[in-house]
């Protein structure tokens, strides 16, 4: 430990911004030298929502104020997000819910991930010559569309924990869809940058572009009567009215008639869709318990592996400004990603050594690889050999994961907690639209290549299988009570965003406003990604000196968090997006 403690006396980088860990509640701190405002910390006594759009957060908050449960509010938040932030999540996508029930004091995780159609084969994303398709050639069109899971997830959660009448929960989104809402600056920018991909399909093109073909501008009042109709049908008929009948017919037609990249989704795929309850994946970290979503998400396993390795080092003494902290965090993440690439996939299809991967002895051994004082060489970053009750060998997969998605957190007056990450995968998903909502491209989260070095890839496409995710909805528990609920969008960077926020909160004592706003430093595959225009840039030279290749760029997280304590709730929304925390 001596070397580690000595390094703790090292250089101070990020504090040069002058940000204090004690930003006052309900104030927006002055712009930091990092280029990011510290997020406003909102306090509340009884209930709160933190979500990616003010209209979605407000709809959820109203349900809570009217005595609804966190799950009731989730349905209002999700259906409004599907309207006002349609590029990120919605009825045509999938989601993972991590839910703490205050009555039973239990965490339940529900998997509403999209599934591959029964007609899909491992060669779905290979061209005629057997080569993997280019990412966007695979994404745009019906080929990438998996059976959506979000509507069934809402239904299943409501059946278990809903308090208010199902139908009433659709009213806020339906009213907004009929009356119209102002296109947000973020949505307008994304439409404008999307251009041709969105114009490939008529329904999508008509919705996102004016009659003159110009992309919708920020502030435009946008109505979505088709979405209002869809919501009213689901409100009246429940999830079955989505998975069978006219809505299902239209989804299948849209996917199968989408031109040269048509897909194979069928009515039977929709009718047979099931939400799966999965065992929560929890790991002890410094006297707390960090719980999240297990496979088919790689989120909680990868975060658990990172934390399990890092627990062997005194990050608190090292501090957030010390390059040594980031060497340890970066290389722990690389080692977790090496295991992820080989082992993580849908456990219904592929045996995965989840227990072995999270075993503290195994992680202690992996942590010894971090004992040096330089970045690990690429050759040293290989998957480990976790304990396993039956042997199975997989090849390394290759999935391309680009960021979009949305995360929200809700706490109700009884202390029930929702942490939900929800997605249609890429921004605007497959670009196909029906019933006023976009269809996902979640199947491109599978590995395009089926084999590696003669061995099958765990995350290859198979009929009925769920693509591996990085989504990491998380609830941190202290003495059996929820302490923090958090998650983020961001493709495979989600894992690093959430892990970093957890370390910042737990080891460095930073509050919710700071952890959602702090500069990002992420290392998945060797090069260190540093968030451009922030204090992270100051670590570029020291990290290079440690042997890393450094890349500066935009890092578009959307962390939303609520901290719970005996004194009440503190929530914050990532200043990189348009979200807010609201509560009473
Ligand atoms: N489809 C991704 C996943 O499930 C999330 C996409 C994103 O956050 O951009 O891991």
φ, ψ of residue 175 in degrees (nearest 5): -60, -45
Virtual CA dihedral for 394, 499, 320, 481, nearest 10 degrees?
-140
Strand partners, 481: 478
Instruction: Write down the pLDDT at residue 29.
Output: 32
Q: Is 200 helix (H, G, I), strand (E, B) or coil?
A: coil
Is residue 440 within 6 Å of ligand 1 at its C-beta?
no
Closest CA to ligand 1's atom 3: 469
Ligand 1 atom with least separation from CA of 299 = 10
Question: pLDDT at position 400, please?
Answer: 61
pLDDT of residue 342: 87
Please, where are the H alpha helices in 415-536?
494-506, 512-517
Indicate if 405 belongs to the active site: yes
Q: How far is the CA of 308 from the centre of ligand 1 (A)?
A: 24
Q: Is 419 annotated as a binding residue?
A: no
Q: Give the model's pLDDT for residue 37.
A: 58
**Looking at residue 65, what is its pLDDT?**
98
Q: How far is the CA of 70 from the centre of ligand 1 (A)?
A: 24
User: In sequence order, which residues have a C-beta less than 8 Å from that of residue 312 and are 6 or more positions away?
Assistant: 364, 367, 370
Looking at residue 303, the DSSP 8-state letter turns out to be: H
- Where b means 16+ CB within 10 Å and e means fewer, 520-555 reads bbbbbebebbbbeebbbbbbbebbeebebebeeeeb
Would the annotation count 445 as a binding residue?
A: yes
Q: Is there an atom of ligand 1 within 6 Å of 474 CB?
A: no
Residues 569 and 583 sit within 8 Å (Cβ to Cβ): yes
Q: What is the number of alpha carbons within 13 Å of residue 218 lying toward its C-beta? A: 7
Q: According to the model, what pLDDT value does residue 1 have?
A: 34
The DSSP call for residue 40 is: P
Q: What is the pLDDT of residues 354-399, one digit of tens each?
A: 999 999 999 999 999 999 999 999 999 999 988 876 656 677 766 6
Report whether residue 471 contacts ligand 1, using a CB cutoff of 6 Å. yes
Tell me the C-alpha to C-alpha distance, in Å, between residue 176 and each of 79, 119, 228.
Answer: 10, 37, 8
Ligand 1 atom nearest to CA at 442:
1
The reported pLDDT for the residue numbered 404 is 76
The Cα 140–Cα 316 span in angstroms is: 45
Tokens of 79: 């259906």
The pLDDT value recorded for residue 402 is 58
Distances (CA, A) of 23 to 32, 42, 50, 52, 512: 12, 11, 18, 22, 10
Atom of ligand 1 nearest to the CA of 489: 8
In this prediction, residue 387 carries a pLDDT of: 85
Q: Please tell me the distance between residue 504's alpha carbon and the centre of ligand 1 in angstroms.
A: 23
> Can you tell me the distance from the alpha carbon of 289 to that of 291, in angstroms, rounded to the nearest whole number?
6
> Ligand 1: distance of its center to the CA of 471 in Å?
6
Residues of the chain with confidence (pLDDT) below 50:
1-34
Percent of the chain with pLDDT over 70: 91
Which tens digits make up the pLDDT trace of 347-356? 999 988 899 9
Mutation test residue for ligand 1: of 408, 440, 491, 577, the one with most atoms within 8 Å of CB: 491
Chain mean position to CA 316: 27
Q: How far apart are CA 337 and CA 263, in angstroms?
A: 30
Atom of ligand 1 minimally distant from the CA of 403: 9
C-alpha distances in Å from residue 465, one per residue of 325, 339, 517: 38, 20, 36
Q: Which of 91, 110, 98 is nearest to 409 (CA)?
A: 98
CB of 404 shorter than 6 A to ligand 1: yes
Question: Which residues touch 407 (CB under 8 Å, ≥6 apart)?
Answer: 52, 419, 420, 421, 422, 471, 473, 486, 487, 488, 489, 558, 559, 560
Tell me the angle at which helices 70-84 and 225-237 cross, rounded to the nearest 10 degrees. 150
Which domains, from first to last, does the chain contain?
3-180+223-271+404-583 (3.60.20.40), 302-380 (1.10.246.130)
pLDDT at 558: 96
Report pLDDT for 30. Answer: 31
CA terminus-to-terminus distance, the chain: 46
Measured from the CB, is residue 251 less than 6 Å from ligand 1?
no
CA 330 to chain centre: 20
The pLDDT of residue 363 is 97
Cα of 250 vs centre of ligand 1, distance in Å, is 25
Please tell me which residue in 405, 421, 434, 444 is annotated as part of the active site. Answer: 405
């Amino acid at each position: 430990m001596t070397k580690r403690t000595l390094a703790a006396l090292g250089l101070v980088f990020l504090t040069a911004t002058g940000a204090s860990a004690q930003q006052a509640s309900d104030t927006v701190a002055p712009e930091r030298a990092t280029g990011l405002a510290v997020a406003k910390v909102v306090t509340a006594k009884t209930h709160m929502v933190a979500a990616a759009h003010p209209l979605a957060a407000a709809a959820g908050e109203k349900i809570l104020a009217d005595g609804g449960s966190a799950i009731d509010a989730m349905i209002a938040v999700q259906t409004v997000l599907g309207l006002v932030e349609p590029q990120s999540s919605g009825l045509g996508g999938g989601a993972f819910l991590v839910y703490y029930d205050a009555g039973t004091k239990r965490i339940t995780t529900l998997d509403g991930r999209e599934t591959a159609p029964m007609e899909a084969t491992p060669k779905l994303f290979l061209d005629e010559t057997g080569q993997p398709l280019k990412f966007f050639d695979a994404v745009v069109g019906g080929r990438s569309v998996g059976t959506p899971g979000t509507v069934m997830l809402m239904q299943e959660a409501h059946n278990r924990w809903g308090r208010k009448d199902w139908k009433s929960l659709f009213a806020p989104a339906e009213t907004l869809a009929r009356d119209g809402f102002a296109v947000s600056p973020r949505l307008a920018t994304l439409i404008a940058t999307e251009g041709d991909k969105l114009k490939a399909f008529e329904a999508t093109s008509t919705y996102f572009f004016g009659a003159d073909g110009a992309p919708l501008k920020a502030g435009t009042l946008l109505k979505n009567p088709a979405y209002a109709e869809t919501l009213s049908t689901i409100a009246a008929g429940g999830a079955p009215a989505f998975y069978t009948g006219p809505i299902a017919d239209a989804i299948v037609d849209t996917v199968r008639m989408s031109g040269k990249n048509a897909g194979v989704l069928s009515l039977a795929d929709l009718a047979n869709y099931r939400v799966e309850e999965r065992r929560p994946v929890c790991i002890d970290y410094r006297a707390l318990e960090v719980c999240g979503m297990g496979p088919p998400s790689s989120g909680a396993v990868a975060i658990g592996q990172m934390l399990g390795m890092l627990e062997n080092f005194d990050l608190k003494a090292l501090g957030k400004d010390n390059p040594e902290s980031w060497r340890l965090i970066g290389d722990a993440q690389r080692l977790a990603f090496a295991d992820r690439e080989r082992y993580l996939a849908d456990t219904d299809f592929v045996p995965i050594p989840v227990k072995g991967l999270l075993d503290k002895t195994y992680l202690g051994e992996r942590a010894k690889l971090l004992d040096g004082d330089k970045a690990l060489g690429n050759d040293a970053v290989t998957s480990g050999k976790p304990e396993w009750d039956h042997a199975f060998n997989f090849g390394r997969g290759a999935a391309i994961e680009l960021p979009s998605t949305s995360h929200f957190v809700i706490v109700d007056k009884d202390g029930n907690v929702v942490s939900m990450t929800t997605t249609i995968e890429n921004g605007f998903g497959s670009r196909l639209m029906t019933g006023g909502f976009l269809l996902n491209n979640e199947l491109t989260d599978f590995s395009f290549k089926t084999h590696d070095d003669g061995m099958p890839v765990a995350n290859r496409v198979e009929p009925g299988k769920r693509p591996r995710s990085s989504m990491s909805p998380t609830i941190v528990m202290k003495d059996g009570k929820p302490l923090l609920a958090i998650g983020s969008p961001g493709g495979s960077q989600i894992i690093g965003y959430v892990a970093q926020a957890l370390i910042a909160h737990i080891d460095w004592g930073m509050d919710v406003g700071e952890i959602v706003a702090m500069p990002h430093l992420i290392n998945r595959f060797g090069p260190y990604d540093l968030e451009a225009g922030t204090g992270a840039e100051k670590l570029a030279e020291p990290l290079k000196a440690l042997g890393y290749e450094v890349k500066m760029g935009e890092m578009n997280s959307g962390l939303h968090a609520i901290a719970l304590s005996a004194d009440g709730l503190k929530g914050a929304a990532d200043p990189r997006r348009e979200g807010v925390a609201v509560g009473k």
